[in-house]
Amino acid sequence: MYVDFAKEIIENQYSEYDEESIIEDLKELSWHDSGFEKAKKLEDGCASYEFTGDFIDWLDNMACERDYILKENVKMWVKAHNPQPKLEKGDQLKINESLSRTPDLKKDSVVYITGINMEQAYYTISSDPDKNGGYVLDFEKVESKCEILSQ
């Protein structure tokens, strides 16, 4: 992914640096920053970039491209390994070990399986059994940190 990003930066003439240097710079950026914030961090470093509006937009869209790549990688992994969910939609669970810093997903909370995505190998869970959707967590995490209260 970083190699492809670096090649694109060079092709678009956003920098004359070599691939390796650009890759190292990109690895230092936060995926949560805006394109402007990423540009500012690159500018603060010793690298030489052409900070045009197009480049800042490109930096802004990097996170979306990364998310797409990650989803495609998960799909390939799921296809190769074919994990099967052990829980079913509607199952009531008690969280034995916090799943997240989110208050709804803390230890001893009660949640329900509100959906199952086989293509991405994740459950959606919520404290509301009638909710369509909820928090997205992979099969393994939910199955290893929760116990079934009722099916």
Q: Return per-residue pLDDT of the chain as tens, 151 residues.
A: 999 999 999 999 999 899 999 999 999 999 999 999 999 999 887 668 989 999 999 999 999 999 999 999 999 999 999 999 999 999 999 999 999 888 889 999 999 999 999 999 999 999 999 998 899 999 999 999 999 998 7
Question: Rounded distance, CA 90 to CA 96, Å?
Answer: 18
pTM for this predicted structure: 0.70
Question: Rounded distance, CA 57 to CA 53, Å?
Answer: 6
pLDDT score, position 46:
64
What own/partner pairs with CB < 8 Å and gap ≥ 24 does 82-89 have? 83/121, 83/139, 83/140, 85/116, 85/118, 85/121, 85/123, 85/139, 85/143, 86/139, 86/143, 87/113, 87/116, 87/123, 87/142, 87/143, 87/148, 88/113, 88/116, 88/151, 89/113, 89/114, 89/115, 89/116
